[in-house]
Amino acid sequence: MPVKVQNGLPARMVLEKENIFLMDESRAMTQDIRPLRILILNLMPVKEETETQLLRALSNTPLQLELELMRMSSHESTHTSSMHLNTFYTTFGQVALQHYDGMIITGAPVEQMEFEQVDYWEELRTVMDWSTTHVTSVLHICWGAQAGLYHHYGIPKYKLPQKLSGIYTQKVLNRLIPLVRGFDDEFKAPHSRYTGNRRADILARPELLLLAESEEAGPFLAMNQDGSRIFVMGHPEYDRDTLKGEYLRDVSRGLNPRIPENYFEEDDPEKPVKLSWRVHANTLYTNWLNYYVYQVTPYQW
C-alpha cells in the first residue's frame, strides 16, 4: 500500500524514480480506507534529505500511511528554505489538539550540547509529554532517542572519546519481542554520533527492555514495556552514501575525521560503499508500524 504525502513534496519525485508507490492527497481522498496518521518531527538541518530517507523506510509496509511533517517553532532553520518549511511543515501549536497513530522524532546535530542548552529543548519536552496522550507509539531516532530516554526516564548521555561513525554489528537480545521479529541473530546498522547511552542505565529501569546492542557501538534498540516508546540509537534509515557525505563534509571542515568503520570497501574512501543494513532497517520500520501502531491504535480517536 502507498504512503500518502502532500502534493509537490520534493521527496516524492525522488522516490517515484525508485518505483516506490506514493499517493498524493487528491487520489487518497477517493479511497474509503482509514490510513494510519504518522507525524514526523524532523529535527535534522537538511530536512529534505531526512524526509526522503524516512519515506523510503516507511514505504515497505502494506498499510496506508498519511504523513505530516512538523518542525520546532522555537528554532530557526538555516539549512532548509523558508518556502519549503512554510509549504510542507506544521508546528506544534497547529497539531496540539489532534491525535496520531504513530510519531517519529528524528536525530539532530546537537548531541555535544547539554539537553538544556538546546534552544528548542523546552518545546521538545512539551511535545514528548503531549505524545504520551495523543500518539499510540513514538519512535525516537539517535539524538531523539537520547532526548527521549533522558526526558522520560532520566537516563543521561555520555560523551564518547571520538565520533562513532560506521556500520556496526548488532546482536538481538530478546527474540520474543515482535519489534525484532524476522531479524537474524546479528544484523548491521549505521551509527553517527559523538555521544551514547550505557546499557547499565537502561537495564536499571524495569520499564525498559534492551532488545539489541553492539560490542563496539553500545545499545542500539530499546523500548518500554508496551511499545508506546521505542528508542533507536543509530540511523537505520540512512541511505548508502549518507555516512560518506558526512565524512567528506567533516574533511572539508578540517576536522580530520576517522574513516567510517566497516563502510567503504577495504576501508578506502575512494572505493564503493558496501550497503549491508537495508533489509533489517526496512523490517524494523515495518514491525513498528504493524505491531505497535496498526495492531493497537483505535480506529477512531
261 is catalytic: no
CA atoms within 13 A on the CB side of 248: 9
Give the closest residue to 230 by CA, choosing from 149, 174, 295: 149
Residue tagged active-site, from 49, 68, 213, 237: 237
Give the closest residue to 183 by CA, choosing from 197, 169, 196: 169
237 is catalytic: yes
Spatial separation of the C-alpha atoms in residues 247 and 177, rounded to whole Å = 35
235 is catalytic: yes
Spatial separation of the C-alpha atoms in residues 12 and 4, rounded to whole Å = 10
Long-range contacts of 156-163 (CB under 8 A, 24+ apart): 156/197, 156/201, 157/111, 157/195, 157/196, 157/197, 158/195, 158/196, 158/197, 158/198, 159/112, 159/194, 159/195, 160/193, 160/194, 160/195, 160/196, 162/258, 163/192, 163/193, 163/194, 163/257, 163/258
Residue tagged active-site, from 111, 235, 246, 280: 235
Residue tagged active-site, from 142, 191, 213, 246: 142
Q: Which residues are catalytic?
A: 142, 235, 237
